[in-house]
Chains A and B, each alone.
Chain A
């Protein structure tokens, strides 16, 4: 049962690989998938540490979201686009 959970999680973690604007949401999704793995193993092994770790992951995700959003706003302001294919100054 639990490995089935994690299989579904693997599907989730894989699917969203090549999107453009929703990349950031995909990152959140990946973090969630990892959280699910932590919870599952925490129960499977009968230890609480997994859940404590999930808290830290959530906190880091929140911080990362705040900074990421600031960066996205900045990119939008400077380049006027949200498409990562257009943010290619390093190519020139």
Chain B
């Protein structure tokens, strides 16, 4: 029953969840960031397992590379130290935890229901060619829009973070 695929999946899933938990528990932001990188890499492995090779590569390059470098850069720039122990207000604790659990159960239930009658097809690698033709034929307009979005984000970041007093 335990095919190699399922075994690999279990290991990767465990790594991802462990990384996420560690992200929560670490007090120092830089440790959290490193845990997040572990999660990203595990997720890339999961994508690969499901035949999405190109997405896995993009995940590594963009997330584990670019975004996390940005995070770590900012953490170091701001010299962020240990997070002070904050007393979470009682209301937040009493409402937040049950709410989170309820949400978790609900999502798991609906996903289980939605996938109950579907049998998982054999994994076939999705060729990057198919993906790109879909992306550039059917979704070319959203694609261009995202490039515009990136441009705006770039300008916005520059305007927000420019040195004080400079016009």
**Which A residues have a C-beta under 8 Å from some C-beta of B?**
1-8, 10-22, 24-26, 28-29, 32, 35-37, 39-40, 42-46, 48-49, 51-52, 54-56, 58-67, 69-74, 76-77, 82-83, 85
Contact = CB atoms under 8 A, between A and B. Distances in A.
B115 interface: yes
B39 to A, nearest CB: 6
Contacts of B156: 66-67, 70
Interface residues of B, number: 76
Contacts of A76: 78
Interface of A, secondary structure class, is: helix
- B interface, over-half SS: helix
B134 A52 contact: yes
Contacts of B66: 62
Contacts of B76: none
Contacts of A82: 78, 80
Interface of B: 6, 9, 13, 16-17, 20-21, 23-24, 26, 29, 32-33, 36, 39-40, 43, 46-47, 50-52, 54-55, 58-59, 62-63, 66-67, 70-71, 74, 77-78, 80, 83-84, 86, 88, 92-93, 96, 100-101, 103-104, 107-108, 111-112, 115-116, 118, 120-121, 123, 126, 130-131, 134-135, 139, 142, 146, 149-150, 152-154, 156-158, 160-161, 164
